[in-house]
Amino acid sequence: MLYGLIIDFGQTFCNYGDLIQSVAIERIYQKMNIPPEQIVRLTKKDLSSYDGEPILLPFSYTIYYLINFETGELALSDRIIPIFLGVSIESIMIYNCILPEDFAATGSKWMGIFRKNAPVGCRDHFTLRFMKEHGIAAYLQGCITNTLPRREKGDYNKTLLIDCPQSILPHIPPELLTNAEVMSNVAPMGSCSVEDNYQRVMARYEYYKNNAAFVVTSRYHVALPCNAMGIPSVIVKPQVSKYSEDVRWDALPPQVQMCASERDYWNVRWHSEYEDFPEFKETILKIASARIMEAFIRHDAEKTVSVFFAPQFDVYNKTREQHESYADLLRAYLQRHHAQGQGRFYIWGAMDIFCRRDRVELSEIIFEINPDLEFAGWIDSFRTGTLANKKIEKISDVILGKDDFIVVAAESATHYASSYFAGMGLNERNYLLLGNRTLVLDIEK
């Protein structure tokens, strides 16, 4: 079994925030001591075209990357097994591109993959509620970047304004602006290779870690990773958004100061002490590692079990038609003896499994062949009362007319019933043994 790591999302630009999630997943692999040679680096194109050895893929991104929005199809190879650690469906809210009810419609392939690979770890409360409302086992994890390790204590003196709204500048204390740097977390790909770009992302966040004393940003995946690394962070919610509802904001770490409007600028604690959250990080790392290991054990075991049963499965497929079902036997018997005319019938074996509330499957098969027949009731040696509104009787209390018959459906009654019918001088027109006759120990001997 191999492990997947997404290092490119097939865009003409690089949003560093997308790939810092992969950096966090790669760190989890390192903590799990997974050898680099077992890790397959994937691009978005590979997600749909991959055809090699099965890959376990921790997925902590927006669902956008698994959907082909042009065709509405799931863009994921069946050789890739997703492990949903911190997934979000926030991308369906972009430009109202997909209505939530359409996303969850019957037959939805992306909802199907959630059900198949549940439980689903969710990045935000919105995704968690959505999953549970549609019967999918799910839990809240938050963003995987919350697990990035805290940096060493040191003398950090830069204020990084990363995709920072201009409106907050008058509220930032002058001493924080004396060594400020304006940056963007988005850059063109240019001629940069996929691997070089991934290294560029890691280098960018190393720069943040090694230099920032304070970060002000509008970027979700700047504030959260920087906060995890020990950098005090303020995130400013854009007032104009491409989202019909920006659900990403409902699961921010409490250490991140959020400004939902300009009124919040006055409440920012510009010189507050940073508070780390090591217990939370360790919990999420344990959950993520356990989910990955559980998936490995389960799929590896499934492969072993499948290989073990494969020879007999082939035999079964060659012989699967070499038997007759109860329904086939019953139809053939009725065609021979009771396709026309009137008469009554009993079913020997008053078992709930034959019923769907007041419907009795065997009687419905009989009425398909001859609707003029009458279902007189049940015969059972161990049960009394009624079943599906039909009386249950002992065989000794049943009197058959010449056009009446008994269908013996309980296999445990087959031996006794055949002996009883022989003693009564009944012929095959009066009864049908659906069960197989097996050897019976003669207790008297």
Give the pLDDT mean for 214-232. 96
Residue with tokens 């356990």, as numbered in its chain: 290
Give the span between the Cα atoms of 93 and 53, in whole angstroms.
Answer: 35
Give the span between the Cα atoms of 339 and 30, in whole angstroms.
Answer: 72
Calculate the dihedral angle through the C-alpha atoms of 247, 249, 250, 256, rounding to the nearest 10 degrees. 170
Residues in Cβ contact with 74 at an 8 Å cutoff, skipping those fewer than 6 apart: 66, 67, 68, 109, 110, 112, 113
Greatest alpha-carbon span in the chain: 110
Q: Is 307 helix (H, G, I), strand (E, B) or coil?
A: helix
Calculate the dihedral angle through the C-alpha atoms of 323, 327, 328, 329, rounding to the nearest 10 degrees. 90
Give the pLDDT mean for 150-160. 94
pLDDT at 166 over 80: yes
pLDDT tens-digit series, residues 372-407: 999 999 999 999 999 999 999 999 999 999 999 999
Q: Any idea how long the chain is?
A: 445
Structure tokens, 54: 């099965």
Nearest to 52 by CA among 107, 4, 85: 4
Give the span between the Cα atoms of 210 and 195, in whole angstroms.
Answer: 23
* Percentage of the chain exceeding pLDDT 90: 71
Q: Which CATH class name applies to 149-275? A: alpha beta
Structure tokens, 17: 């925030």
Q: Is 445 helix (H, G, I), strand (E, B) or coil?
A: coil
- Exposure of 271 by Cβ count < 10 A (0-12 exposed, 13-18 middle, 19+ buried)? exposed
Kindly indicate the confidence band of residue 368, based on its pLDDT and cuts at 50, 70 and 90: very high
Q: ∠ CA 40-45-247 to the nearest 5 degrees?
A: 95
Give the pLDDT mean for 213-239. 94
Q: pLDDT value at position 244?
A: 57
pLDDT-wise least confident of 100-104, 265-269, 436-440: 436-440
Task: Give strand ranges (E) for 198-268.
Answer: 212-217, 233-236, 257-259
341 φψ region: left (φ > 0), alpha (ψ -120 to 50), beta (else):
left
Q: Is 372 helix (H, G, I), strand (E, B) or coil?
A: coil
pLDDT at 441 over 70: no
**Which overall architecture, per CATH, does domain 326-433 show?**
3-Layer(aba) Sandwich (3.40)
pLDDT at 97 over 80: no
Give the span between the Cα atoms of 175 and 178, in whole angstroms.
Answer: 5
| Residue 276 DSSP code | -
Structure tokens, 295: 């998936």
Kindly indicate the confidence band of residue 28, based on its pLDDT and cuts at 50, 70 and 90: very high
Q: pLDDT value at position 444?
A: 45
Q: pLDDT value at position 325?
A: 83
Q: Say if CB 367 and CB 336 are below 8 A apart.
A: no
pLDDT tens-digit series, residues 34-83: 999 999 999 999 999 999 999 999 999 988 888 776 776 788 999 999 99
Count Cβ atoms below 10 Å from residue 279 Cβ, excluding itself: 8
Q: Mean pLDDT over all residues of the chain?
A: 90
